[in-house]
Amino acid sequence: MDESFLSDIASATDQFASDSRNVLVETKSLSLRFGKQTILNEISIAIPRGQTLAIIGESGCGKTMLLKTLVGLMSPTSGSILFDSRDINALTERSMTALRRRFGFVFQNAALFDSMTIEQNIAFPLRQHGVPKGKSASQMILQRLNEVGLPSNVLSKRPSQLSGGMRKRVGLARALILEPDLLLYDEPTTGLDPIMSDVINELIVRTRRRYEVTSVVVTHDMHSARKIADRVIMLYPYARLKKGESQILFDGPPSELDHTQDRRVRQFVMGEAGERLMEMLATQGRDESGRGDLDSINPHDSRLRTID
Amino acid sequence: MATADRIFQRSILGRLQNNLFRTASAWGSVVVSGLTTLGDVTLFASQMLMWMFSAKPKKDTLLPNFYSIGVLSLPVVALTGTFIGMVLAIHSYDQFRNMGMETRLGAVINMSLVRELGPVLAATMLAGRVGSAMAAVIGTMRVTEQIDALVSMGANPIHYLVVPRFLACVLLIPALTIMADFMGIVGGYFHSVIILGIDHAQYLKNSRDFVGGFDLFSGIFKSVIFGAIIAIVSCYHGFHCEPGAEGVGRAATTAFVQSFVMILAIDIVMNLMLRAMEFALWPGGSKLI
φ and ψ of B47, to 5 deg: -65, -40
* Cβ of residue B224 closer than 8 Å to a chain A Cβ: no
**In chain B, which residues have their Cβ closer than 8 Å to the Cβ of A120?**
none
The dihedrals phi and psi of B17, each to the nearest 5 degrees, come to: -60, -45
Residues B146, A129: C-beta atoms closer than 8 Å? no
Distance, CA of A94 to CA of A113 (rounded, Å): 23
Report the pLDDT value the prediction gives residue B103, as an integer from 0 to 100. 84
Give contacts of B152 with chain A, Cβ < 8 Å. 71, 73, 100, 103, 105
Query: Which residues from chain A sit within 8 angstroms of residue B156, using beta carbons?
Result: 93, 97
- Residue to mutate among A114, A120, A216, with most B CBs inside 10 A, is A114
Of A68, A93, A124, the CB nearest to B153: A124
Task: State which residue of chain A sits closest to B154, comparing Cα positions.
Answer: A97
At A156, is the secondary structure helix, strand, or coil? Answer: coil
Ranges A147-156, A188-197, B14-23, B166-175, most confident = B166-175
Determine the residue of chain A that is closest to B60 in CA distance: A127
Chain A neighbors of B64, CB-CB under 8 A: 115
d(C-alpha B202, C-alpha B102), whole Å: 10
Phi, psi torsion values for B155, nearest 5 degrees? -105, 135
Contact (CB<8Å) B149/A105: yes
Q: Give, to the nearest 10 degrees, the angle between helix B59-66 and helix B163-189.
A: 30
Nearest Cα residue to A239 out of A40, A65, A77, A63: A40
Q: What is the largest CA-CA distance in chain A?
A: 78
List domains and CATH numbers for chain A. 24-114+178-262 (3.40.50.300), 272-308 (no CATH)
Show Cβ contacts of residue A69 under 8 Å, excluding neighbours closer than 6 positions.
A27, A30, A32, A40, A75, A76, A81
* pLDDT of B143 over the 80 cut: yes
Residue B247: per-residue pLDDT: 92
Rounded Cα–Cα distance for residues B240 and B251 (Å): 8
Cβ A105–B156 below 8 Å, yes or no? no
Mean pLDDT on B208-215 = 86
Spatial separation of the C-alpha atoms in residues A39 and A46, rounded to whole Å: 19
Q: Residue A105: its chain B contacts at CB < 8 A?
A: 148-149, 152-153
Under 8 Å between Cβ of A216 and A184 = yes
Residues with Cβ within 8 Å of residue B134, at least 6 apart in sequence: B165, B231, B234, B235, B238, B255
pTM for the model stands at: 0.81
How many alpha carbons lie under 13 Å from residue B151 in its C-beta half-sphere?
16
* Closest residue in chain B to residue A183, using alpha carbons only: B152
Chain B residues within an 8 Å CB radius of A71: 152
Distance from CA of A276 to the nearest CA of B (A): 27
pLDDT tens per residue, chain A (308 residues)? Answer: 455 555 555 555 555 445 556 899 999 999 999 988 999 999 999 999 999 999 999 888 899 999 999 988 999 999 999 998 899 988 888 888 888 889 999 999 889 999 899 999 999 999 888 888 888 899 999 998 988 888 999 999 999 999 888 999 899 999 989 889 999 999 988 888 888 888 889 888 988 888 889 999 999 889 899 999 999 999 999 988 888 889 999 999 999 988 888 888 888 888 877 777 777 777 776 665 544 444 444 444 444 444 33
8 A C-beta contact, residue A263 and residue A247: no
Q: Does B152 touch chain A (CB under 8 A)?
A: yes
Contact call for residues B109 and B185 (beta carbons, < 8 A): yes
Asked if residues A254 and A89 have their Cβ atoms less than 8 Å apart, the reply is: no
Q: How high is the pLDDT of residue A289?
A: 53
Mutate to test the interface with A, among B144, B146, B152 (most CBs of A within 10 A): B152
Q: Does B145 touch chain A (CB under 8 A)?
A: yes
A209-246 burial string, b = 16+ CB within 10 Å, else e?
A: eebebbbbbbbbbbebbbbbbebbbbbbebeeeeeeee
From residue A255, how far is each of A54, A233, A272, B245 by CA, in Å?
Answer: 13, 12, 19, 42
**B146 chain-A contacts, CB cut-off 8 A:** 111-114
- Closest partner residue to B152 (CB to CB) among A71, A108, A114 is A71
The answer to whether B156 faces chain A, any CB pair under 8 Å, is: yes
Interface contacts A/B by beta carbons within 8 Å: 48
Q: State the DSSP H helix or E strand holding residue A183, giving kind and residue range, or none if neither.
A: strand A182-186
Across B130-164, b (16+ Cβ under 10 Å) vs e yields bbbbbbbbbbbbbbbbbbbbbbbbbbbbbbbbbbb
- Residue B146 to residue A114, Cβ atoms within 8 A: yes
**Are B131 and B235 spatial neighbours (Cβ–Cβ below 8 Å)?**
no
- Please indicate whether, in this complex, the C-beta atoms of B154 and A111 are within 8 angstroms of each other: no
Residue A235, strand partner residues: A248
**Can you list the alpha helix ranges (DSSP code H) found in A26-88?**
63-70
To the nearest whole Å, the CA of B79 is away from the closest chain A CA by 29
Nearest Cα neighbor of B119 from B264, B281, B279 is: B264
Which pLDDT value is given to residue A306? Answer: 42
With H, G, I as helix, E, B as strand and everything else as coil, classify residue A207: helix
Neighbours of B288 (CB within 10 A): 10
CB contact under 8 A, A109 and B145: yes
Please enumerate in sequence order all residues whose Cβ is within 8 A of that of A119, keeping only pairs 6 or more positions apart, or say none. Answer: A141, A155, A156
Q: Considering only the beta carbons, identify the residue of B64, B141, B153 that sits closest to A128.
A: B153
Q: How confident is the model at residue B285 (pLDDT cuts 50, 70, 90)?
A: low
**Bigger pLDDT: B166 vs B34:** B166
Pick the residue from chain A with its C-alpha nearest to B160: A128
- Please classify residue A299 by burial: count the beta carbons closer than 10 Å to its beta carbon, then call 0-12 exposed, 13-18 middle and 19+ buried: exposed
Whether B104 contacts B288, CB under 8 Å: yes
Nearest Cβ partner for B154 among A107, A115, A128: A128
For every residue of chain B, which 3-state class applies, written as one string?
CHHHHHHHHHHHHHHHHHHHHHHHHHHHHHHHHHHHHHHHHHHHHHHHHHHHHHCCCCHHHHHHHHHHHHHCCHHHHHHHHHHHHHHHHHHHHHHHHHCCCHHHHHHHHHHHHHHHHHHHHHHHHHHHHHHHHHHHHHHHHHHCCHHHHHHHCCCCHHHHHHHHHHHHHHHHHHHHHHHHHHHHHHHHHHHHHHHCCCCHHHHHHHHHHHCCHHHHHHHHHHHHHHHHHHHHHHHHHHHCCCCHHHHHHHHHHHHHHHHHHHHHHHHHHHHHHHHHHHHHHCCCCCCCC
| CA–CA min distance B21, chain A (Å) | 26
Residue B51 has pLDDT above 50, yes or no: yes
**Mean pLDDT value of segment B119-138:** 94
> pLDDT (tens digit, 9 = 90+) per residue, B214-241?
889 999 999 999 999 999 999 999 999 9
Residue A107 to residue B153, Cβ atoms within 8 A: no
> Using CA atoms, how far apart are residues A140 and A190, in angstroms rounded to an integer?
28
Interface test with A, best of B58, B137, B153 (most A CBs within 10 A): B153
Orientation angle between helical segments B118-126 and B213-239, nearest 10 degrees: 20
pLDDT at B257 over 50: yes
Task: Note the maximum CA span of chain B.
Answer: 88
The whole-number pLDDT of residue A87 equals 92
**Mean predicted lDDT score pLDDT of chain B:** 90
State the first-to-last Cα distance of chain A, in angstroms, to the nearest integer: 53
Q: Which secondary-structure segment (H or E) carries A228?
A: helix A222-228
